[in-house]
Amino acid sequence: LEVIASVEPRIADATRQELADQRASLKLIASENYASPAVLMTMGTWFSDKYAEGTIGHRFYAGCQNVDTVESIAAEHARELFGAEYAYVQPHSGIDANLVAYWSILAHRVEGPWLSDAGVKNMNDLSEADWEKLRASLGNQRLLGMSLDAGGHLTHGFRPNISGKMFHQNQYGTDPETGLLDYDALRAKAKEFKPLILVAGYSAYPRRVNFATMREIADEVGATLMVDMAHFAGLVAGKVFTGEENPVPYAHVVTSTSHKSLRGPRGGFILATEEYAPSVDRGCPMVLGGPLSHVMAAKAVAFAEARTPEFQGYAQRVADNAKSLAEGFLTRGAKLVTGGTDNHIVLLDVSSFGLTGRQAESALLDAGVVTNRNSVPSDPNGAWYTSGIRFGTPALTSRGFGHDEFDTVAELVVDVLTNTEAGTNKAGAPSKATYVLNDGVADRVTKQSAEM
């Protein structure tokens, strides 16, 4: 920090403050974690300075021998950790991984066959008129993913996202009564819509998914099954999700982030079957530019950490702790989407406290509890104000929290929310954003959470 301060002291101060804030608060954002010092330090090396467009052994720049080593080791760890046929570790983030995956599937299933039908090897050899036809064909494909309010991600076909614009999209939800995935309804929708790509995976669904059933549905309609395991990769790596709950043996393509439950550096990666490997391997230059070699090195370190028995213990505690947190809420009368959890996410419906997600999120932050507001299925308050708060256990489990600590977290959260009232706007009308915290609660809870 002294080196940074000698150049721009305000950045050193902000960095110091971030550490202090992360230590003093309860980090319950389901997509965050605490990467190890080894992972953090690997990101701060001179690999940051190296350009390496292309793929292992086939670069558009000279002098990439050490990047080749790093990328090969990261890919090897990823393959062995997840039992995958092929791994691609270049994507800079989860969104990049999904974009590379979509374009790889399009290349494999649409572009390749189209070019061979046209008797052309390379699209540069196409006439302008044929190129227009290929473009129309690529832009005319169908994608079916989980809707945002049911727990899916923006990149799974949400209309305003590029995935909702580049494909004809359709979305599946959850059962309105139980909040659980309804595979029969999903199968019926897939049969009617006939997607090229069926996307499984979630950001806010507090339950496990049966990927064998997902694959069956994909096969019945001729779709490629893509699973986005960004959230639960740590639970797959740590062998908490096995058998039909492990997407790797069932999906054609699996995408992920490396920084959530997997506890690595910020980044993305893709696993694929041999069949899809050649197209995914063309991620750069198809979608990506120069890979972040320092981050690929840190991914290798994180994957190596995740291959240890210690990590398996950690992953099991993440899931056990989510159950403790859910029980803590339920015994205090709070309402949970799906009535509980069997992964690392707990989704609290805060409407029973008379609050929107926005009000609850802000009140909790005032008390040192860092969460994010989240839609609940068919949310009456929409995606901005929402009616839910999403909690995740990966970060505090990394800090060593167990059953008792998570029960206390539930107690503190309920304490804050029962002591928060919905506010009004300047004209005195009810507001979905403002709130009033009863005297003393923020100080009381902040003090308790800082001591945990």
**Active centre residues (catalytic):** 51, 53, 228, 257, 260, 266
Task: Give how far Cα 117 sits from Cα of 81, 276, 332, Å.
Answer: 39, 19, 64
Token pair for residue 117?
A: 């039908």
- Residue 437 Cβ vs ligand PLP, minimum distance, rounded to whole Å: 28
Q: Which residue has the tokens 């989510």?
A: 322
Is residue 386 close enough to count as binding ligand PLP by CB under 6 A?
Answer: no
CB of 313 to ligand PLP, least distance (A): 24
Q: How far apart are CA 356 and CA 43, in angstroms?
A: 39
Q: Sheet holding 388-392: strands in order across?
A: 335-336, 345-349, 388-392, 372-374
Judge contact between 248 and 271, C-beta under 8 A. Answer: yes
Regarding 161 and contact with ligand PLP (CB under 6 A), the answer is no
203 is a site residue for ligand PLP (CB under 6 A): yes
Query: Least distance (Å) from ligand PLP to the CB of residue 131?
Result: 31
Rule CB under 6 A: say whether 155 interacts with ligand PLP: yes
Contact 290, 51 (CB under 8 A): yes
Considering the complex, what minimum distance in angstroms separates the CB of residue 402 from ligand PLP? 26
CB 245, CB 232: distance < 8 Å? no
Residue 228 within binding range of ligand PLP, rule CB under 6 A? yes
Q: Are 373 and 383 in contact (CB under 8 A)?
A: no
Q: How far is the CB of 250 from ligand PLP (least distance, A)?
A: 17
195 binds ligand PLP (CB under 6 A): no
Verify binding: residue 449, ligand PLP, rule CB under 6 A. no
Is 231 a binding residue for ligand PLP by CB under 6 A? The answer is: yes
Residue 274 marked in a binding site: yes
Binding mask 263-282 for ligand PLP (x = CB under 6 A): -----x--------------
Q: Minimal CA–CA distance to 86: which of 96, 75, 95, 94?
A: 75
388 marked ligand binding residue: no
Print the binding letters for residues 96-135 with ligand PLP: x by CB under 6 A, - otherwise.
----------------------------------------
Task: Verify binding: residue 230, ligand PLP, rule CB under 6 A.
Answer: yes
Residue with the closest Cβ to ligand PLP? Answer: 94
Residue among 153, 263, 317, 358 that touches ligand PLP (CB under 6 A): 153
- Sequence-distant (6+) residues with CB within 8 A of 257 are 31, 93, 94, 97, 230, 231, 233, 266, 267, 268
- Please indicate if the annotation marks 152 as binding a ligand: yes
Which residue's entry shows tokens 């530019």? 289
Q: How many CA atoms lie within 13 A of 198 on its CB side?
A: 28
Instruction: CB nearer to ligand PLP: give 197 or 410.
Output: 197
Which span (38-46, 87-95, 350-358, 365-373) binds ligand PLP, by CB under 6 A?
87-95
Per CB under 6 A, which region of 89-97, 159-167, 280-288, 325-333 contacts ligand PLP?
A: 89-97
- Asked if 207 is part of the footprint of ligand PLP (rule: CB under 6 A), the reply reads no
Alpha carbon distance 177, 284 (integer Å): 44
From 11-19, 223-231, 246-254, 363-371, span contacting ligand PLP (CB under 6 A): 223-231
Is residue 94 near ligand PLP by the rule CB under 6 A?
yes
Q: How far apart are the first and last CA of the chain?
A: 27
- From the CB of 230, what's the least distance to ligand PLP, in Å? 4
201 binds ligand PLP (CB under 6 A): yes
Binding mask 313-352 for ligand PLP (x = CB under 6 A): ----------------------------------------
> Token pair of 429, please?
């009308």
Residue 143: CB minimum distance to ligand PLP, A: 14
**What are the C-alpha distances in Å from 298 to residues 10, 93, 120, 164, 181?**
26, 13, 40, 32, 35
The DSSP call for residue 424 is E
Q: Measured between alpha carbons, how far is residue 263 from residues 29, 33, 51, 396 in Å?
A: 13, 6, 26, 12
Asked if 31 touches ligand PLP (CB under 6 A), the answer is yes
Q: Which run of H or E residues covers position 389? A: strand 388-392
Examine residue 298 and tell whether it contacts ligand PLP (CB under 6 A): no
Q: Is 27 in the site for ligand PLP (CB under 6 A)?
A: no
Q: Which of 403, 409, 413, 390 is nearest to 451 (CA)?
A: 409
Query: Which of 385, 375, 373 minimizes the C-alpha distance to 423?
Result: 385
Give binding residues for (6S)-5,6,7,8-tetrahydrofolate as ranges: 148, 152-154, 274
Q: Report the interface residues with ligand PLP, using CB under 6 A.
A: 31, 93-95, 153, 155, 201, 203, 228, 230-231, 257, 268
Going by the annotation, the residues of the binding site are 148, 152-154, 274
